[in-house]
Amino acid sequence: MNYQVIQLAPIRVAMLRHTGSYDEVGPVFDKLWQWVESHKVPVLRSIGIYWDDPDEMPASQLRSAACVEIPPDYQVGGWGAPEVSQISGGTYVTATFTGPYEDLAPVWNDLSSYCENDLRRTISEEPAFEVYVNDPSDTPANQLVTELYMPVV
């Protein structure tokens, strides 16, 4: 796997939060995209935020969010509007994975290990996130491209 250390500016997102297994966040993304399509939201990227380590937290307590990056001047409002927030800027270690979302867990484990053992960096309290480069509704699972971002200090 090819890893890079990068500096990111904050990312403005519209988000719907989820508590529970990360495997169950799919319907939250579906709901978010219904809002996006019905309001013709100018989406820059589709993002999943993950606050907790599933090896250290019971699945029922895992916190995540389905997000879309939105332009700085886009006004979110109306019935059913998601929360507007931002992903913190800072130092992140990134990797790109091609394959089914179900195969991401070991990639995250490898990325965490690389950050802590090879780079000797501490993983930040900020949440990790994924950027979904292509659309799972029209892309075969083995061709899905996911960018992983692990915050470090």
pLDDT in tens, 58-113: 999 999 999 999 999 999 987 778 999 999 999 999 999 999 999 999 999 999 99
Domain that holds residue 30: 4-151
Coil, strand or helix: which one is 18? Answer: strand
> Looking at residue 1, what is its pLDDT?
86
Indicate the Cα dihedral angle 110, 9, 33, 130, nearest 10°: 0
As for how many domains the chain has, the answer is: 1
Identify any residues that bridge with 15 across adjacent strands, giving them in sequence order: 67, 83
Q: What is the CATH number of the domain that holds 15?
A: 3.20.80.10
